[in-house]
Amino acid sequence: MKKITLLATALFCMAAQAHATNLTGTWKGTGKAVDNAGKPINCESVVLTITHTASSLQVNSAFTCGGMPITIPGGAMDIKGSDLFDKGTKSGTIAPGSVSLTAKASGYVMKSNARFSDTEMQLHSVISMGTNPAPALTFDANLKR
Which sequence spans correspond to the domains of the chain? 2-144
Q: How confident is the model at residue 32 (pLDDT cuts 50, 70, 90)?
A: very high
If you average pLDDT over every residue of the chain, what do you get?
83
Nearest to 144 by CA among 14, 48, 53: 48
pTM reported for the whole predicted model: 0.80
CATH of domain 2-144: 2.40.128.20
Would you say residue 105 has pLDDT above 80? no
Annotate 20-84 with DSSP letters as a single string.
Answer: -S---EEEEEEEEEEETT--EEEEEEEEEEEEE-SSEEEEEEEEEETTEEEEE----EEEETTEE
Mean pLDDT of 45-64: 94
Q: How confident is the model at residue 138 (pLDDT cuts 50, 70, 90)?
A: very high
Distance CA 85, CA 80 (A): 8
